[in-house]
A and B are shown apart, each in its own frame.
Chain A
Amino acid sequence: MAFSKTLKVLLVGGVSLAGLTFGATTIASAAGGGGTGDYEMVHKHWHFKGMGGTYDRAAAQRGYQVYREVCSSCHALEQLAFRHLGDKGAPFYNEDYKNPNENPLIKAFAADWTIEDIDADTGDVLERPGITADKFPPIYPNDAAARAGNGGALPPDLSTIVAARNGGADYLYNLLIAYDAKKPDDVTLTPGLYYNPVMDGGKIAMASPLSDGIIEYAPMEVYEDGEIKTVAAPEATVEQMAADVTEFLAWSSDPKLEQRKQAGFATMLYLLILSVLLWFSYKRVWKNVKH
């Protein structure tokens, strides 16, 4: 009798859990903009999905290259500092440089950017190469300038873009590869707008940013499981670059995902064992007590 009661409780817990998840996804998809035309969303299996999912380091590193060479001409990464790239769980983490500010690779990335600063002696505005502690600089001095440079449209910040869109990584990936889709007749475009079936209403102000071979990938050294592995360079197709930059921006949206999942596993295991122990304590305390 008591056991079936517990089963009932677990059942109710499970049902409410399923209900909550289902409810949340329903709301998310209800609020999500429907695509237009016949375009079918490609659902990729992302390396970071699932209970034990981690970021694909090589893909995220290539994704940074795509961001740097393509996206960063218009889009900022407001929430990121260069040092974040070398944090634990980040694309360029290296165990030899637990402090990312000492990582020569991260230093080089930072120095590749120009940062506006104030000369401490004269008060004049000066430009200097970035250091690891700097945040990624804004691309435009202000929103008005950004709009003026993009036909009135404001390029969104990319640091939280995967979290900020219903559909997450799949949304971004499809947005980047869907430009070739055939435009339905009922979508009329004004100059400066392009057809993209993934966008609400099918219209987007960004021209297709990627084309095959627009950048060149080089073989890279990836730090994984305590050793450095060399990963061969894939061909820079639109799909490859879209997947890579999505992997990078997914990390940027949720940089602590790996720590969180690791801590989650330990926590859930602990709670599970404690639940079992408490269940037996309960049986023992209530032994011979009719209720």
Chain B
Amino acid sequence: MSGHPSTYEPKYAATKWMDQRLPIIRMGADFMTFPSPRNLNYWWTFGGILALCLVSQIITGIILAMHYVPHIDHAFDSVQRIKRDVPYGWLLQPMHAVGASMFFLAVYVHMLRGLYYGSYKAPRELLWIIGCLIYLIMMATGFLGYTLPWGQMSFWGATVITGFFGAVPVVGESLQQWLLGGYAVDNATLNRFFALHYLLPFVIAALVGLHVWALHHAGQNNPIGITPKTKQDTLAFHPFYTVKDGFAVCVFLLIFAFFVFYQPDALGHADNYIRADAMKTPPHIVPEWYFLPFYAILRAVPDKLAGILLMVGAIAVLFVLPWLDTSKVRSMRFRPVARRFFYVFLVMCFILGWCGAETPDNIAFPFGTNDAGEKVGLSFYRLSQIATIYYFAFFLIILPVLGLTERPKDRPESITKAVLGGHKGAAAPAE
């Protein structure tokens, strides 16, 4: 990968032979010596954590696919068989199911880190866009995978989500039927969902390759957003960041393991332990927690098509973020006003998630009771509208305007200066 001059020198005949033909060892060596900003904090460890999540999902997924039966008459039972009779199936199945949640948890932290520290700004626009694309395909993969156990929530979730496509003007109905392979979610749907669920992770893996390539070309952003200028500003990736990432990965795995071994069902829905029944709609159809904010945006307007456009827009807006934020300053550390809006944005995202889990007509914040003795107050419906407006305003109004009006704080000249607090003479470590 480009970005820094290679210092690798093959020592043995075999490695020399390799180096002249396919310099893959050189690539790995350059990866290890890649100069990384010396001030990266723990928020930067989530890239490595995500790579691990992807690998874990693919490995557990392939093994599960060897035992899973993608047929509406057998899918539910085959998942039960995996959990009851397949050797270590009791471990692999929750690893995969909880793994999806952990993957999304990590990707949200990773994205919010990028948002806070301005990692989408030049020259990292493509890096960010590839990341958005990965996230989009992750959402598709997560949704497709949730259909496979063929429980009640699998079936009805798939029915609701594919129903969105029916709302597209003119071609909607044909599009929906083409997607389902019929008029309703049925065996053809399950078969293609399984095929696509197996395919997409490899598309993600390929995009991750591009993501890492772009990262190594543009170099990592860092908490102060100042581009490294001298050799002193950086440290070799190994051992400095391998050990730091390793520690963070291990702590993350502790959380992961807690859910897998002690709360494997906490992040799912009880309804999915009931076999799918096309004749019986569950009282509440709720998506997985990682889709809840978007589900709330979808339901924030009474019109179905408008809701879908908003939901799509909520993700689409991320793709153009590099051109919406007009500020030249990357890190919000030096943008006191933007930082406050960012924290409100964070709170709004949680509120959207909360709204997505609740029935819209229920009261979120009661003010009192009316004459009939019913609670009155701010309903989840109104609350989700407020949060949706803020979500879009943050990207479409606040960031574009702030970049022009906000006066950023003074920034340090370099990473080294920031780290050493101006004492430039302090001893620099050997790399």
Within 8 A of A (CB), among B212-257: 235, 239-240, 243-244, 246-248, 250-255, 257
**Complex contact B284–A31 (CB within 8 A):** yes
Q: Which of A108-116, A227-235, A266-274 faces chain B?
A: A266-274
**Complex contact A24–B289 (CB within 8 A):** yes
CB of A165 closer than 8 Å to a CB of B = yes
CB of B404 closer than 8 Å to a CB of A = no
CB of A23 closer than 8 Å to a CB of B = yes
CB of B263 closer than 8 Å to a CB of A = yes
**Complex contact A8–B42 (CB within 8 A):** yes
**Complex contact A264–B257 (CB within 8 A):** yes
Chain A residues whose CB sits within 8 angstroms of the CB of B273 once the complex forms: 160, 163-164, 253
Within 8 A of B (CB), among A16-65: 16-17, 20-21, 23-28, 30-31, 33, 51
CB of B27 closer than 8 Å to a CB of A = no
Within 8 A of A (CB), among B79-96: 80-81, 83-84, 90-91, 94
Chain A residues whose CB sits within 8 angstroms of the CB of B289 once the complex forms: 20, 23-24, 27
**Complex contact B80–A23 (CB within 8 A):** no
> Within the assembled complex, what's the spacing in Å between the Cα atoms of A30 and B354?
11
Chain B residues whose CB sits within 8 angstroms of the CB of A253 once the complex forms: 273
**Complex contact B235–A289 (CB within 8 A):** yes
Checking B244, B253, B262 against A264 with a beta-carbon cut-off of 8 angstroms, the contacting residue is B262
CB of B13 closer than 8 Å to a CB of A = no
Within 8 A of A (CB), among B60-115: 77, 80-81, 83-84, 90-91, 94, 101, 105, 109
CB of A288 closer than 8 Å to a CB of B = yes
Chain B residues whose CB sits within 8 angstroms of the CB of A260 once the complex forms: 90-91, 94, 261, 264
> Within the assembled complex, what's the spacing in Å between the Cα atoms of A147 and B96?
37
> Within the assembled complex, what's the spacing in Å between the Cα atoms of A84 and B38?
56
**Complex contact A278–B246 (CB within 8 A):** yes
CB of B357 closer than 8 Å to a CB of A = yes
Chain A residues whose CB sits within 8 angstroms of the CB of B248 once the complex forms: 9
- Best-surrounded residue of A10, A272, A291 (most CB of chain B within 10 A): A291
Measured CB to CB, the closest approach of chain B to A228, in angstroms, equals 26
Chain B residues whose CB sits within 8 angstroms of the CB of A152 once the complex forms: none
- Say whether, besides A20-B101, A51-B262, A259 and B90 are in contact (CB < 8 Å): yes
> Within the assembled complex, what's the spacing in Å between the Cα atoms of A27 and B90?
24
User: Binary interface profile of A, 249-291, with partner B (CB < 8 Å = 1, else 0)?
Assistant: 0000101100111011101100110110011011001101111
**Complex contact A256–B247 (CB within 8 A):** no
**What does DSSP make chain B's interface, helix, strand, loop or mixed?**
helix
Chain B residues whose CB sits within 8 angstroms of the CB of A17 once the complex forms: 255, 258
**Complex contact B271–A31 (CB within 8 A):** yes
> Within the assembled complex, what's the spacing in Å between the Cα atoms of A272 and B257?
11
- Say whether, besides A5-B41, A264-B257, A79 and B250 are in contact (CB < 8 Å): no
Interface size on B, residues (CB 8 A): 61
> Within the assembled complex, what's the spacing in Å between the Cα atoms of A261 and B419?
45
**Complex contact A289–B38 (CB within 8 A):** yes
**Complex contact A13–B284 (CB within 8 A):** no
Closest B residue to A171 by CB, please name it: B270
Chain A residues whose CB sits within 8 angstroms of the CB of B261 once the complex forms: 260-261, 263-265, 267-268
CB of A117 closer than 8 Å to a CB of B = no
**Complex contact B84–A10 (CB within 8 A):** no
Chain A residues whose CB sits within 8 angstroms of the CB of B419 once the complex forms: 290-291
User: Binary interface profile of B, 258-291, with partner A (CB < 8 Å = 1, else 0)?
Assistant: 1111111111011101110000000110100100
Closest B residue to A23 by CB, please name it: B289
Closest B residue to A255 by CB, please name it: B84
Chain A residues whose CB sits within 8 angstroms of the CB of B39 once the complex forms: 291
**Complex contact B250–A278 (CB within 8 A):** yes
CB of B425 closer than 8 Å to a CB of A = no
Measured CB to CB, the closest approach of chain A to B301, in angstroms, equals 22
CB of B358 closer than 8 Å to a CB of A = yes
Chain B residues whose CB sits within 8 angstroms of the CB of A274 once the complex forms: 250
Chain A residues whose CB sits within 8 angstroms of the CB of B283 once the complex forms: 31, 33, 200
Checking A25, A26, A268, A281 against B243 with a beta-carbon cut-off of 8 angstroms, the contacting residue is A281
CB of B353 closer than 8 Å to a CB of A = yes
Closest B residue to A89 by CB, please name it: B90
Chain A residues whose CB sits within 8 angstroms of the CB of B252 once the complex forms: 13
CB of B426 closer than 8 Å to a CB of A = yes
Chain A residues whose CB sits within 8 angstroms of the CB of B262 once the complex forms: 51, 261, 264
CB of A101 closer than 8 Å to a CB of B = no
Closest B residue to A264 by CB, please name it: B261
**Complex contact B255–A13 (CB within 8 A):** yes
- Say whether, besides A253-B273, A256-B84, A289-B235, A275 and B254 are in contact (CB < 8 Å): yes
- Best-surrounded residue of A17, A20, A159 (most CB of chain B within 10 A): A20
Checking A6, A30, A261 against B284 with a beta-carbon cut-off of 8 angstroms, the contacting residue is A30
Measured CB to CB, the closest approach of chain A to B270, in angstroms, equals 5
Q: List 17 A-B contacts (CB under 8 A).
A: A5-B41, A20-B289, A26-B357, A28-B269, A30-B284, A160-B273, A163-B270, A164-B270, A168-B270, A263-B91, A263-B261, A264-B260, A265-B261, A271-B254, A278-B243, A281-B246, A290-B419
Residues of B within 8 A of A (CB): 38-42, 77, 80-81, 83-84, 90-91, 94, 101, 105, 109, 235, 239-240, 243-244, 246-248, 250-255, 257-267, 269-271, 273-275, 283-284, 286, 289, 353-354, 357-359, 419-420, 426-427, 429
Besides A5-B42, A20-B105, A264-B262, 15 new A-B residue pairs in contact (Cβ under 8 A), listed by A number: A13-B252, A20-B267, A24-B263, A24-B289, A26-B354, A26-B357, A30-B286, A31-B284, A159-B80, A256-B84, A265-B261, A268-B258, A281-B247, A282-B247, A290-B38
